[in-house]
Amino acid sequence: MARQLEEQIVGRFPVGRRLRVLDVGMGRGTQALRLARAGHQVTGVEQDATMIAAAREAFAGEPEGIRERMRIIEGHAGDTGVHFLPGSFDVVLCHGVLMDAEEPDALLAGMARMLAPGGLLSLLVRNGDAPAMRPGLSGDWAGALAAFCTTAYGLKRLTSTLAGIGAPLHTWYGVRIFTDTAPDDAAVPDDLDTLLALEDRAGRTDPYRGVAALLHLCGVRG
């Protein structure tokens, strides 16, 4: 996903431009820190105190110049309008948050308002078009059958929603196509570079991306 996001940023903004980035639901700050290291000004919004502490610990080990480009605001993902003016950011990230939001459409609309014209909205969501894949590949037949009754966001619905909030879909990728069934404590494979190359290739290739565990969607503010 980091490769995909970098591809979109490089293709949309002039080289060397310092972007204003908002990371909604920052978590441990992995993406925020990567973008700050690239020279961008990053603001993270996070409500979980444990995650904030982990992010601050990670940032503390960085050089002062990078730390100065980082800001953390403790708050809910849906409160962006409380903290920022419309059009305040060039890039807005919302990775792994939308699927747990009580009012996802309202959250999406609020984030779109934070974008300056031409700004990039990067979303990472569960793939509502293929919910049976993980339990099915894991041999959980009953779970796979039940998954057909779930109503998570799919590509068609998200495409319509993004168009309706003024940030129509520009491109999309699949994420975790061949690795979603790996346990959380699995050892990093020796051939990690080959695995990443495979996931990257499949994530932009039909029909593989359509059955990915996650979708990475990139909308552009009109």
* Segments of the chain scoring below 50 in pLDDT: none
pLDDT 10s digits, 95-111: 999 888 888 899 999 99
pLDDT score of 101: 83
Residue 86 token pair: 């419309």
pLDDT 10s digits, 31-48: 999 999 999 999 999 999
pLDDT score of 100: 81
pLDDT score of 98: 87
- Does the bond joining 207 to the residue before it have cis omega, within 30 degrees of 0? yes
pLDDT score of 99: 81
**Residue 111: which H helix or E strand, with range?**
helix 104-113
- CA dist., res. 124 & res. 127, Å (int): 9
pTM of the model: 0.94
**By three-state DSSP, how is residue 17 classified?**
coil
- CA dist., res. 149 & res. 133, Å (int): 13
Sequence length of the chain is: 222
